[in-house]
Structure formats: structure tokens, C-alpha cells
Amino acid sequence: MGTEEAETDLLTSDPGTSGRFGNFGGCFIPETLVPACQELEIAFREAWADEQFHSELDRLLADYAGRPSPLTICGRLSEELGTSVLLKREDLNHTGSHKINNVLGQALLAKRMGKSRLVAETGAGQHGVATATAAALFGLECEVYMGEVDMERQALNVFRMRLLGAEVRPATTGSRTLKDAVNEALRDWVATVETTHYCLGSVMGPHPYPWMVREFHRVIGSEAREQCLKQVGKLPNTVVACVGGGSNAAGIFSGFANDSQVRLVGVEPAGAATVGRKVPGVLHGSLSYLLQDEFGQVSEAESISAGLDYPGVGPEHSYLADTGRAEYHCVTDEEVVEAFGLLSRTEGIMPALEPAHALAWISRERADLAGEVVLLNLSGRGDKDAAQMVEYFK
């Protein structure tokens, strides 16, 4: 593996020791944490080149998480939209979302590094639940930071994390959402770095996280590509995924990055259209596009979905947007709620609000997508959102 210079292939590349995707990425964190990130990079490089690590992770993904996740060809939805929709069913993974892929990888790595405690941030609670699950499985201590606002709108996941033995701590500053949970997790890590691994939940943060988390989610894209060829006999025309930090999108995009004819589309909430606005900034360890005011103060994102309610985005997405390999669009909360109902009604599948963004885009663009094969990464299931939707429809 090349460690000095970044390779040029998008989404398959190793960003090198500087952790750069073009100009984006890097490792902008207090000095206290730099040695830990360097240690993590070395540990990940070794593990990722180690067959035994891969076989252990593959076994866990299969026997514990339930991989491979199926690819569902939608009948009634496709008929309604006039485009052939395929769903990559990450909602069927253990814990209900794609987050488990990354967490099992990081927990194995933490064990390998001799760390006894995991700390994590969570927005919708899916990453927190996955982390608490892995901690229970490996006998690790676990603390999850969650914005106070999110604890309220995702009460079910708070209960799940606590049941799994994790401490859930509210982030009570700022917007009291995902961004503030990351702040608190970083502050915890600054104080506990000797015994603790920061189990970061998306393709963001300081190097090596954006790269490592993408690699742990690569399995989504690899499986989906193979399943497409097998089940529909060809590659999809378009691959669509929601983007908050961007982990599920990075995972599924990575399977198709080298198929230049496949269009890659990331969908952001209108209130958190980070890539859409294209203003670079430094937050939570990396240089990437960032929602901010005219003075560089980070803006508060606004979204119905706690999982996408984040003013930043993974640095590789900024790079993909800049190079034009992927495009990023946004949808409104209203369109998302409609898509949430649409998939439930037509396919008997209640999506999480996050991937409902991706469906909302497909639904809106149906005329342009007519006759195509469109692959949607269904990154999580909607049970966690049911209570919030009950209130919404009142």
C-alpha cells in the first residue's frame, strides 16, 4: 500500500499519511490527539493488510451482522415512479442500519490496540446503538454523546443504548445536535486518549477516519455491484445515497467509482446542504465543505433527520463534488416525509428518514430517470422515526 502519495483513483485510493483527498481532509486536531491518530493509522494499515483481521471481520459481518444484505428489486415502487428502483438493504443488518459495518471494524481494531473503552457521538442514535452493541459484544466500556435535542426525538435509541450497557451523555451546548455531540466526544477523548478509542461514526474527522470508515463500508458497494450484475444483469445507471457525514454514500459509491458510466448522486437535506454551498472550512479534524457564517462560525444545520443534521461533510465527498465524479443535490423535509410514506405503502418497507432523502430525490427526478435502473442505498430502517412521525402527522 502506498503511504506517501495519494493515488489518483477516486474512492479506491489511499489518502497517504497526510490524509488528503485533493486539498480536503488532513488532521486538524489538538496536539494531544495527534499521536493517537497516528497510532490508529498504523494499526489500521497493519490490520487491513492482515488476512486474519479480515477473516475475523468477515465472520462477524456474516454471522453476527447478517451480511451480505440483500438487494431488493422494487415492483410496485418502480411501477409508480416509472424507473426501476433497486434497494441495497442495509436496513436489514443487525442494529438496523449500515453503521454496524464500521463499528465492528473499529471495535476489532480497538481490541487489537489494547483499548478498553469506546467513546462515540451519535445523531439519530444508529451509530450509538451500533457502538453500544459492539461494546457489549467485545466487553468494552462505552460512552455515547448525543445532542439533547436528538435524545428527545430519538428516545427509542437512547433506551436501546442504555439497555446495551452504554452510558448516554447529553450534549447540552450549541445546537444540541450531532455537531455538539462530536465536540463532546472529542473533549472526552482528549482526556482519556490513553485507554479509549474514539469510534467515529462517519467518513469525517481527522485522518485516518475518513479513509478508514470508507474502507469499513466498502463492503456495501462491493456486494451491491455483484448483486446488480447477478440480479438484473447489468450495472445501475444511477446510484443514490443520502449524505450527512456521508458514510453510507461513501460505502456504496466505492463499489462503482471505477465504472465511469454510473452516475453517483448524494442527497443532502435542504437545511444542511453543505456540499451544495461549497464553502470550505475546518471542523472536527478535517478541511472540507462546511456550513458557516461570514466570520467562520459554524452554522447550525436544520433537518427533520437527526442523522443528517450536521453542518460538515466527509472530505472525500467535497473532493468527489469538486472533481465532478459525484453530484450532490438537496431535498426538503416535506419531500422526505412523502418518500417515507411512499416506500412504506408501495413496498412494505419503512425507511429511516435519512435514506428517505435519497428516495425523495428519485421521486422528484422521476421524469429524468425514466427507464433507468436506479440503485438506492437503504441505509437504515424507520422504526426509530415512527414516534417522531406520529407527532409530525398530528
Partner 1 sequence: MQVSLDNHFSDLCASGRKCLVPYLTAGLEGWIECLHAAAEAGADAVEVGIPFSDPVMDGPTIQQASDKSLAAGTTPDSIIANLAKSPPPVPTIVMTYTNIAHHMGYDRFARSLADAGVSGAILADLPLNEAGPWCEAADASGVATILLAAPTSSDDRCRAIAERSRGFIYAVGLLGVTGERERLADSATMVASRLKALTNKPVLVGVGVSTPDQAVEASRVADGVVVGSAFVRRMLEGASPEDIGETVGEFRTALDTLL
Q: Which residues bind partner 1 (CB under 8 A)?
A: 18, 26-36, 173-174, 179-180, 183, 186-187, 190-194, 280-285, 287, 290, 292, 295-298
Can you give the length of the chain in residues? Answer: 394
- Residue owning grid cell 425507511: 351
Nearer to partner 1, 51 or 194 (CB): 194
Is the Cβ–Cβ distance between 360 and 334 less than 8 Å?
no
Nearer to partner 1, 55 or 172 (CB): 172
Q: Is 98 in the active site?
A: yes
C-alpha cell at 289: 465543505
For residues 244 and 309, give the distance between their C-alpha atoms in angstroms, rounded to a whole number: 7
C-alpha cell at 377: 442505498
Closest CA to 202 of 310, 108, 278, 322: 310
| Of 37, 98, 197, 329, catalytic | 98
Q: Is 329 in the active site?
A: no
- Residue owning grid cell 478541511: 287
Nearer to partner 1, 161 or 283 (CB): 283
Is the Cβ–Cβ distance between 351 and 382 less than 8 Å?
yes
DSSP-assigned letter for residue 173? S
For residues 153 and 158, give the distance between their C-alpha atoms in angstroms, rounded to a whole number: 10
Nearer to partner 1, 18 or 258 (CB): 18
Name the minimum Å distance from CB 286 to partner 1. 10
Name the minimum Å distance from CB 282 to partner 1. 4
DSSP-assigned letter for residue 304? S
3-state DSSP assignment of residue 10: coil
Is the Cβ–Cβ distance between 83 and 371 less than 8 Å?
yes
Name the minimum Å distance from CB 193 to partner 1. 6
Element housing 147 (H / E): strand 141-147
Is the Cβ–Cβ distance between 183 and 298 less than 8 Å?
no
Nearer to partner 1, 183 or 377 (CB): 183
Nearer to partner 1, 156 or 282 (CB): 282
Helical H segments across the chain, by residue range: 34-48, 51-63, 76-81, 99-112, 126-138, 148-153, 155-163, 178-192, 209-231, 247-254, 274-277, 315-323, 333-347, 353-364, 366-369, 386-393
For residues 337 and 382, give the distance between their C-alpha atoms in angstroms, rounded to a whole number: 11
Nearer to partner 1, 302 or 327 (CB): 302
| Of 27, 74, 242, 330, catalytic | 74
Nearer to partner 1, 89 or 284 (CB): 284
DSSP-assigned letter for residue 19? T
Is the Cβ–Cβ distance between 115 and 146 less than 8 Å?
no
Identify the burial level of 88 via C-beta atoms within 10 angstroms of its C-beta, where 0-12 means exposed, 13-18 middle and 19 or more buried: buried
Name the minimum Å distance from CB 116 to partner 1. 16
Name the minimum Å distance from CB 289 to partner 1. 12
Residues assigned a catalytic role = 74, 98
